[in-house]
Amino acid sequence: MNTDTSTCDLKFCQWGQPDSSALPVVMLHGHPGNGAAMAVFGEALGQNSWAIAPDLRGYGGSRIAEPFELFAHLDDVEALLDRLGIGDCILLGWSLGGIVAMELALRELTSTHPHRI
């Protein structure tokens, strides 16, 4: 299994505006799926906040050929948050995305970005 921790440049869908006064909502899809599967939530949440739904590593437009482990998803999402300048945010996940969201929240307890999620 590849243990390289380099991140995948995640493709993502977005709704709403990044300059909203509400916390951004990062929505993580399940398996199988992609960010577009979160459109029903994104359309509703995007009316009052910035909603982002990445294609997780290996799905949709974020395809890669190399094998990877589950924790690579965490690094990818954190890199996307950094790239988009997102500090605090709300995570919404289902199925695989729910697992990634939970692991990100647990990682947050010892993060260099306390209270981001």
Q: What is the mean pLDDT of the chain?
A: 89
Note the pLDDT tens digit of each residue in 46-78: 999 999 999 999 999 998 888 999 999 999 999
For the cut 80, the answer to whether the pLDDT of residue 97 exceeds it is yes
Q: In order of start, what are the domains of the chain with their CATH numbers?
A: 12-108 (3.40.50.1820)
What is the distance between the alpha carbons of residues 24 and 26, in angstroms, rounded to a whole number? 6
For the cut 80, the answer to whether the pLDDT of residue 2 exceeds it is no
Q: Which two tokens stand for residue 24?
A: 């951004």
What is the distance between the alpha carbons of residues 61 and 86, in angstroms, rounded to a whole number? 21
For the cut 80, the answer to whether the pLDDT of residue 117 exceeds it is no
CB 97 within 8 A of CB 29: yes
CB 35 within 8 A of CB 55: yes
pTM of model > 0.85: yes
Instruction: Work out the number of other CB atoms within 10 angstroms of the CB of residue 62.
Output: 20
What is the distance between the alpha carbons of residues 77 and 50, in angstroms, rounded to a whole number? 16
Lowest-pLDDT choice from 16-25, 49-58, 84-93: 16-25
Helix or strand or coil: residue 54? Answer: strand
C-alpha dihedral over 55, 22, 103, 6, to 10 degrees?
50
What is the distance between the alpha carbons of residues 51 and 70, in angstroms, rounded to a whole number? 23
What's residue 113's pLDDT? Answer: 60
